[in-house]
Structure 1
């Protein structure tokens, strides 16, 4: 987040906060889907105008997953219907959008409909939504007119040192680029010969699965999403009954299986619902359990796709 000027934009009057900054007034923590929400969007637009910004870059995009932290129930399409195609083409890390689309993304986040991202313009501007209708804007200039406009709209633009939701750029989890050396490693593993399982995370909480062979590797690689996180595991096991019997008790895990038509699906299960898997995966050709806890995940390879110039910019 640009460090020169940062503001917390909120509908909560600071006069109604206690000595710890906790709001104790009567404002609701949900969006009103009306004039207050519109005021937020106009305030953000004012900061963008003051900063000379008319396009923003999507960073760390997510959709609703196994656990949803929004106050409102997620909607079909994660609130992105009408903004992006059903397959969410164009909603990915690094994609540029116009300010009108960026403001609609802010609306989706204010409503907690499922999608979330940061919106940035290099080191000059950033905006993202936190909990309870708090919005954070960072700029490389003071934006006095935008601060005044925010006040006119009945909102409060409070100067802060930095957003608590600013991207952590110090220690990225994934530092290896899925470059030519990476793919040579994968190809060598496939030459054993064997089949591998590729987990392609193309958005936060959105994953596609592929069974890799020497013959299909180039085809799969060409269709991967921009800046996707790639995790390569040993192949699915053909004895599905044995896999089901090996469920790790009292654990929440991903269950991955190949359907009779070759489609690979997954579902997150815990001890309360794993017994329903037998009916769900009837006829499956192969399957496996994969741990969710980071300390328990030990894939064969783990990398992120670089941009066309070879630079790894994804912040997984």
Structure 2
């Protein structure tokens, strides 16, 4: 399985051990107002969500499923009905990705043996696919995000 890490962090700002050196960089939704303004945050969030769909499109997937959901159902049930292992619509993928990036919930999205999306700390996202997806990678990099071959730390 091909696996990569998607982030907003420019690799030129990493030290020789791979640690990010820019301490002024925002790393989560909770940095709102302190380190980031709304328009920059929402623009970046949309790039991450778009990245998921670039892979789905490149792979020609018909379905993605919710798995390993963590969060208070009361926090989101007014937004959308949710249950683990459910097939997700395009709109549900967008909403769940948004809620995960905003640290309201945590989950994985998957299509067994073919595709996964994992969300990590510090605004990292991991995507895996059964084949290489150069078109998706190119679109993501063109958007200003960075793609690095990387094994997800959230694999089972």
* TM-score bracket, shorter-length normalisation: 0.7 to 0.9
What per-residue deviation string (whole Å, max 9, x for no partner) do you get for residues 94-117 of structure 1?
21111321122111111101x211
SS of 2:64's partner is strand
Shift of 1:79: 4.2
TM-score of the superposition, structure 2-length normalised?
A: 0.85
Aligned residue for 1:48? 56
Say which structure is richer in strand.
Answer: 1
Unaligned runs of 5+ in 2: 30-39
Which of the residues 97, 100, 114 maps onto 1:109? 100
Aligned residue for 1:120? 110
- Distance (Å, rounded) in 1 between the aligned partners of 2:134 and 2:91: 22
SS of 1:103's partner is helix
Shift of 1:80: 5.0
Shift of 1:135: 0.2
TM-score of the superposition, structure 1-length normalised?
A: 0.44
1:19 aligns with 2:9: no
What per-residue deviation string (whole Å, max 9, x for no partner) do you get for residues 135-166 of structure 1?
00000111100000001110001111x20111
- Distance (Å, rounded) in 2 between the aligned partners of 1:166 and 1:103: 22
SS of 2:58's partner is helix
Shift of 1:22: 1.2
Aligned residue for 1:62? 70
- Distance (Å, rounded) in 2 between the aligned partners of 1:16 and 1:96: 38
Which of the residues 47, 68, 83 maps onto 1:92? 83
What is the RMSD computed on CA atoms of the aligned residues? 1.7
Aligned residue for 1:163? 152
- Distance (Å, rounded) in 2 between the aligned partners of 1:96 and 1:165: 20
SS of 2:88's partner is strand
- Distance (Å, rounded) in 1 between the aligned partners of 2:121 and 2:114: 24
1:83 aligns with 2:73: no
- Judged with a 3 Å threshold, the aligned counterparts in structure 2 of structure 1 residues 52 and 77 are, in CA distance, closer, same or farther, namely same
> Where in structure 2 are the equivalents of 1:162-181 lying within 5 Å?
162-167=151-156
1:129 aligns with 2:126: no
- Judged with a 3 Å threshold, the aligned counterparts in structure 2 of structure 1 residues 12 and 80 are, in CA distance, closer, same or farther, namely farther
Which of the residues 10, 26, 29 maps onto 1:28? 26
Could you say which structure has the greater relative contact order, defined with CA pairs below 8 angstroms and 6 or more residues apart?
2
Runs of 4+ in 1 over 6 A off after TM superposition: none
Shift of 1:57: 1.0
Aligned residue for 2:33? none
Say which structure is richer in helix.
Answer: 2
Unaligned runs of 5+ in 1: 65-75, 85-90, 168-316
